[in-house]
Amino acid sequence: MSFQSIVSSSQLLANLQQMQWTKPTEIQRKAIPKIQQGNDLVARAQTGSGKTGAFLLPLIERLMTLPLQSNRTHAVVIVPTRELAQQISDVAQQLMAATPCVLVTAYGGVKINPQMMALRQGAHLVVATPGRLIDLIEKNALNLSALKCCVLDEADKLLDLGFQPELQQLLTYLPTKRQTLLFSATFPEALQQWIKLVSANPQQIVVGVAERSVKTVQHWLHPVDKKEKLAALTALLEQHQFSQVLVFVKTKKSANQVSQHLTELGYLSDSVHGDKSQAQRQASLDRFKMGECQVLVATDVAARGIDISQLPAVINMDLPKVAHDYIHRIGRTGRAGEKGVAISLVCADEIELLRAIETALQRLVERRWLDGFVPNHNLPESAVRPAKKKKPHKKKLARAQQAANSNAKRAQTPEGEPAQKRPPLRRKPPIG
């Protein structure tokens, strides 16, 4: 299948050529026709498989002919991190080049005023993080009543505990008649109920092997003692001579310390974490993407969504607290079909985190000894436990159902069309 067979706008085709996207990736081949038919969609695709293009291409093609309406947008892409919002916007800008499409990017950590000003003329597409999106709506800078399509990218994280309140609130602002697209590399079982709430009879697409592995990434772990981790990291850097590495650590403090240590050893190193301003975080990522930094030490702010082309390696100096973040972290390498390695340094204290990761992967992570670092504190054996089916939190689910129901009652499209029939929400009996 060629882009010509699924994209009809000659300007979009020219932009694709400019970007050197010669043919659609698997997710783009599967998702674009379904989106064009107006279906709701739940797409599970490996990170790095081209999912951004899969939702942006049909959206831009559909929206670019629509007139702008002041303080309104035709589509919104909601993402969990500012970095991902910026990255998606960068791709959108390239795809929209020389079209009438207007894009507004909105995330926190930067002044809200320029975003409010930009929204005055209206937008075809807004790419936003949930908190800032709510702020803009509450300040009457943005009204979603004309919305045609809502995309939740990295939907698992968005629907995850941390974002549930924001999402519940956003549900009440969305018109009932809309297309909803959910994209993610992972869809834990507990979130299936939420998917039913935000989308209507969605079509399902799975691309590549399930969430449990990233095919092009070879990953293993080295058991090491906790106090030896820094020395083990430098030994790994010496041994492998990676052109670039993304190193994940647990805390902001250790991100600074490790980066400082590596700089003293002569590496071009930098750190990104939540204590840095958005501008600093973006500047560090840009330097890393341009190859001006060899080792970027990061907390999980960089685990998801960030696309660094040809990144050869990820090192987990600490395991993530949330098992699924392991998949997202190692997915920073091996993108767009490139090969990558992901190495974890695991101490005895982290055995429960390792077990949770191995349960999420449904297989053991290969263990290798690192010369000179065989630990004194043995890393206990682990065994793959059967994956648990977690029940969603009843109270939270009931609240969200209420929000969605009240939305269904009051949301009319701006043209006053009757709302699209969505499946009835089963009400839970009152709790407490």
Amino acid at 377: H
CA dist 409 to 145, 171, 175, 363, Å?
Answer: 14, 12, 10, 46
Q: Is residue 48 a contact point for ligand AMP (CB under 6 A)?
A: yes
Q: How far is the CB of 152 from ligand AMP (least distance, A)?
A: 15
User: Closer to ligand AMP at the Cβ: 337 or 380?
Assistant: 337
* Region near ligand AMP per CB under 6 A, out of 20-28, 35-43, 158-166, 172-180: 20-28
Q: Is residue 52 a contact point for ligand AMP (CB under 6 A)?
A: yes
Q: Is residue 282 a contact point for ligand AMP (CB under 6 A)?
A: no
Q: Is residue 148 a contact point for ligand AMP (CB under 6 A)?
A: no
Given 15, 30, 50, 302, the residue binding ligand AMP (CB under 6 A): 50
Q: Is residue 340 a contact point for ligand AMP (CB under 6 A)?
A: no
Q: Is residue 21 a contact point for ligand AMP (CB under 6 A)?
A: yes
Q: Is residue 53 a contact point for ligand AMP (CB under 6 A)?
A: yes
User: Closer to ligand AMP at the Cβ: 53 or 80?
Assistant: 53
Q: Is residue 51 a contact point for ligand AMP (CB under 6 A)?
A: yes
Q: Is residue 335 a contact point for ligand AMP (CB under 6 A)?
A: yes
Given 15, 25, 180, 244, the residue binding ligand AMP (CB under 6 A): 25
User: Closer to ligand AMP at the Cβ: 53 or 340?
Assistant: 53
Q: How far is the CB of 15 from ligand AMP (least distance, A)?
A: 12
* Region near ligand AMP per CB under 6 A, out of 17-25, 221-229, 264-272, 287-295: 17-25
User: Closer to ligand AMP at the Cβ: 49 or 143?
Assistant: 49
* Region near ligand AMP per CB under 6 A, out of 50-58, 270-278, 351-359, 364-372: 50-58
Distance CA 175, CA 422 (A): 12
User: Closer to ligand AMP at the Cβ: 307 or 350?
Assistant: 307
Q: How far is the CB of 21 from ligand AMP (least distance, A)?
A: 4
Inter-residue contact 273 to 252 (CB < 8 Å)? yes
Q: How far is the CB of 33 from ligand AMP (least distance, A)?
A: 15
Binding-site size, ligand AMP (CB under 6 A): 14
Inter-residue contact 170 to 136 (CB < 8 Å)? no
Q: Is residue 122 a contact point for ligand AMP (CB under 6 A)?
A: no
| Residue 323 CA to its chain's centroid (Å) | 15
Place of tokens 């190495």: 343
Cβ atoms within 10 Å of 228's Cβ, excluding its own: 19
User: Closer to ligand AMP at the Cβ: 28 or 344?
Assistant: 28
User: Closer to ligand AMP at the Cβ: 22 or 241?
Assistant: 22
* Region near ligand AMP per CB under 6 A, out of 43-51, 134-142, 391-399, 404-412: 43-51
Residues that bind ligand AMP in the complex, under the rule CB under 6 A:
21, 24-25, 28, 48-53, 307, 309, 335-336
